[in-house]
């Protein structure tokens, strides 16, 4: 069964074509990676799939729900870790999780239990009652990761999840994501980091200028081959483009 299916998704911002006909299936239980350079259309894809943005054309299904027709229905069922978003500056992590728990209809005991587990996993228990404004960027990212998983969704959309995290925490998050996938859940990961995609994903689709240009299974490649594919497919354009930056 597919957790996500899209057909010919298109989206423009004025004259700029961000998605030029994206057709994509993600089976349930896959740790899927959308890999592309800056400006390739990754966040636009996530925003459409999570009902935050309507496509100009094409269709999408997320856990059987059409995000354009029922955006709230999709957001109830999935977890979302947006790129570079911060928790509210005027709250502590504990207050924020209480808020997320009430939006997600979780009882206080469940919230507390899950928060303790996540604070242990990502080593930030000492900061649970510190205002977000006094947390480091990486500590704020730990809070955002916890919030995305707090209601134990079957599917998560995670945009550059490892940004700002030190190597120890990165390994803890990777370990968790593999366990989450092994339990039958689905991960839609968006990144421009080839190492992250190669290390973590069952399958990677490379997106460039709003189109899918290559698909690979990292386990079936050796060494740096995903980098070779990436450079071959997008490197030449990305290195001369105004929005250059293939991540390494």
Ligand X SMILES: Nc1ncnc2c1ncn2[C@@H]1O[C@H](COP(=O)(O)OP(=O)(O)OP(=O)(O)O)[C@@H](O)[C@H]1O
Name the site residues for ligand X (rule: CB under 6 A): 13, 16, 18, 36, 38-44, 83, 192
CA–CA separation, 72 and 216 (whole Å): 33
Helix (H, G, I), strand (E, B) or coil at 134: helix
State whether residue 213 is helix, strand or coil: strand
Nearest to 6 by CA among 151, 207, 201: 207
Q: Cβ neighbours of residue 23 under 8 Å, at least 6 residues apart?
A: 6, 7, 8, 9, 212
The span from the CA of 105 to the CA of 217, in Å, is 37
173-196 in b/e form (b: 16+ CB < 10 A) is bbebbeebbeeebbbbbbbbbbeb
Residue 45 CB, nearest approach to ligand X (Å): 7
Q: How far is the CB of 150 from ligand X (least distance, A)?
A: 24
Shortest gap between Cβ of 126 and ligand X (angstroms)? 31
CB of 204 to ligand X, least distance (A): 14
Q: Given strand 57-62, what is the order of strands in its sheet?
A: 16-27, 2-13, 57-62
Cβ of residue 160: shortest distance to ligand X, in angstroms? 7
Query: Judged by CB, which is closer to ligand X: 114, or 192?
Result: 192
* Nearest-approach distance from CB 240 to ligand X, in angstroms: 15
Nearer to ligand X, 172 or 196 (CB): 196
Residue closer to ligand X, measured from CB, 34 or 173: 34
Nearer to ligand X, 22 or 155 (CB): 22
Of 41 and 93, the one with the shorter C-beta distance to ligand X is: 41
Shortest gap between Cβ of 242 and ligand X (angstroms)? 9
Hey, what are 102's tokens? 């009430």
Whole-angstrom distance, CA of residue 176 vs CA of residue 161:
12
Residue 117 or residue 215: which is nearer to ligand X going by CB?
A: 215
Comparing CB distances to ligand X, the nearer of 81 and 106 is: 81
Among residues 149, 122, 151, 150, which one has the least CA distance to residue 138? 122
- Cα–Cα dist 20/23, whole Å: 10
């Amino acid at each position: 069964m597919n957790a996500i299916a899209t057909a010919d998704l298109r989206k423009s911002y004025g004259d700029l074509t961000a998605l030029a006909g994206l057709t994509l299936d993600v089976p349930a239980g896959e740790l899927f990676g959308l890999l592309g350079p800056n400006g390739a259309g990754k966040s636009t894809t996530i925003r459409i799939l999570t009902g935050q943005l309507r496509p100009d054309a094409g269709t999408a299904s997320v856990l059987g729900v059409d995000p354009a027709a029922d955006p709230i229905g999709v957001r109830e069922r999935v977890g979302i870790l947006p790129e570079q978003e911060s928790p509210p500056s005027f709250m502590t992590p504990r207050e924020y999780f209480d808020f997320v728990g009430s939006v997600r209809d979780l009882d206080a005991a469940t919230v507390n239990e899950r928060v303790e587990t996540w604070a242990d996993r990502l080593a930030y228990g000492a900061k649970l009652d510190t205002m977000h404004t006094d947390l480091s960027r990486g500590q704020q990212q730990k809070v955002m990761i916890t919030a995305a998983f707090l209601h134990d969704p079957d599917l998560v959309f995670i945009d550059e999840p490892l940004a700002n995290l030190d190597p120890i925490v990165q390994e803890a998050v990777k370990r968790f994501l593999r366990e989450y996938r092994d339990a039958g859940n689905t991960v839609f990961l968006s990144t421009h980091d080839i190492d992250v995609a190669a290390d973590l994903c069952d399958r990677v689709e490379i997106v460039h200028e709003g189109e899918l240009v290559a698909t690979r299974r990292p386990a079936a490649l050796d060494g740096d081959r995903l980098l070779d594919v990436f450079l071959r497919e997008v490197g030449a354009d990305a290195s001369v483009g105004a929005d250059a930056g293939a991540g390494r």
